Structure 1
Amino acid sequence: MRWNIPNILTIVRLVAAPGVAVMFLYFHRPWADWFALTLFITAAVTDWFDGYLARLWKQETRFGAAMDPIADKAMVVIALVVITGYSGMNPWLILPVTVILFREVFVSGLREFLGADARMLSVTYLAKWKTTAQMVAIAVLFLGTGLEHLEGIARRGMTTAQYAEAVSAGLADPVRSCGTRGCSSLATLIGLVLIWIAAGLTLATGWDYFRKSLPYLKDRPDG
């Protein structure tokens, strides 16, 4: 492996992927949420830079080509598992997450089966948009889990409507209120919309890869 900047950025993403989960092991909430969000966003930004710099400086390597998609998948899968666990197993989140995880396993299995022929399953522009949508959705959902914990502390048993009234009366912190809907609920709603969009793109790219691989999955006639 060549120790150039694009490859180092890829390694940083590989390390950051499990680091998102580790934040919840060593830090109390909401600090764990903020640290996980910061780590995830930082790692996601390097996803763009390592590819851009590799092409700009002509430093594309076999290591980078192999590890870059693995780092992306590890980041997305681990973050989604963490968010699903801390979201109270919300069914509106579980379904798109299941679609995303199934597609990643399915396409990885296809690539392994195809071996040398897997190069025809090269990353498309739609797949890049899919990864971007997933990462943006995950960042917003992490924001929602962090705000939810803060709001729970601030409300002290009040409903969001009661808390909004307390804010209007000057008895509660307005920074943690978004009107009658709590900020965490608003962030989570936006995150859910984005994750469903990401799941749709994920299905589309998965079908595209499956369609391209169909000729290689047919049994050859005997003789």
Structure 2
Amino acid sequence: MPLNLATRITLARLLVIPVIVAVLSIDPSSQHRWWAVGLFLAAALTDWLDGYLARRLNQVTDLGKVLDPLVDKLLILVPLLLCIEWGEVPAWSVALILVRELGIASWRIHQSQIQGASVWGKAKTVSQILAVTLLLAPLPAPWHVPTMMVYGGAIALTLISGWTYLRSS
């Protein structure tokens, strides 16, 4: 079965993840971290694009419904794992995000009809993208507290959106 444009974009986003890891593993200097931020943001923007194209071109597929959210989760979690290695975030905080994401993904598999993202789910996604962007960026020391506040907000929205999803199912 040939892949449609939306699914190809999703797969391209997936392929950016190991490139981000490679860039940061080779040399986590300021220059490489800025490159990783650019790659991360470009990949994050394609999440909107592939969903828009799938709906607009009437190319929504079962593969896309499964692959897109999986790639979204990897795009967030892989950089956060690097942040654990760098000592920038505690492992427990990433574990909370991971448990929520895997829990909701597992729950969705057993639903007869998959719900679209709620306002809480969209806020979670935006906050996670912002938090990962700030964590990856080589910002000066005064940015540490605001970055941690954004990251804490992303964790809170991750848990709230998970709770509201389960309550509405």
TM-score, with length taken from structure 2: 0.86
Aligned pairs (5 A) from 1:129-168: 129-143=123-137, 146-147=138-139
* AA aligned opposite 1:8: R
In structure 2, the gaps of 5 or more residues are none
Partner SS for 2:29: coil
2: CA distance between counterparts of 1:8 and 1:138?
24
1:216 — aligned with what?
none
* AA aligned opposite 2:167: R
* Aligned partner (choices 196, 203, 206) of residue 159 of structure 2: 203
2: CA distance between counterparts of 1:118 and 1:102?
22
The CA deviation at 1:118 is 5.2
Aligned pairs (5 A) from 1:43-122: 43-86=43-86, 88-91=87-90, 94-112=91-109, 114=110, 117=111, 119-122=113-116
| Change in CA separation of 1:111 and 1:4 when aligned onto 2, cut-off 3 Å | closer
* AA aligned opposite 2:126: T
1:126 — aligned with what?
120
The CA deviation at 1:61 is 2.0
Asked whether the 8 Å contact 1:140–1:190 carries over to 2, the reply is no
TM-score, with length taken from structure 1: 0.67
The CA deviation at 1:85 is 1.6
The share of aligned pairs that are identical, in percent, is 31
- For the aligned residues, what is the CA RMSD? 2.2
The CA deviation at 1:108 is 2.6
* Aligned partner (choices 189, 199, 207) of residue 145 of structure 2: 189
* AA aligned opposite 1:201: L
In structure 1, the gaps of 5 or more residues are 148-183, 214-223
2: CA distance between counterparts of 1:11 and 1:207?
29
| Change in CA separation of 1:90 and 1:201 when aligned onto 2, cut-off 3 Å | closer
Q: For 1:146-167, what per-residue CA distance to the aligned partner results, in whole angstroms no more than 9, with x for missing partners? A: 24xxxxxxxxxxxxxxxxxxxx
In the comparison of the two structures, how many residue pairs are matched?
A: 169
* AA aligned opposite 2:68: D
1: CA distance between counterparts of 2:68 and 2:89?
30
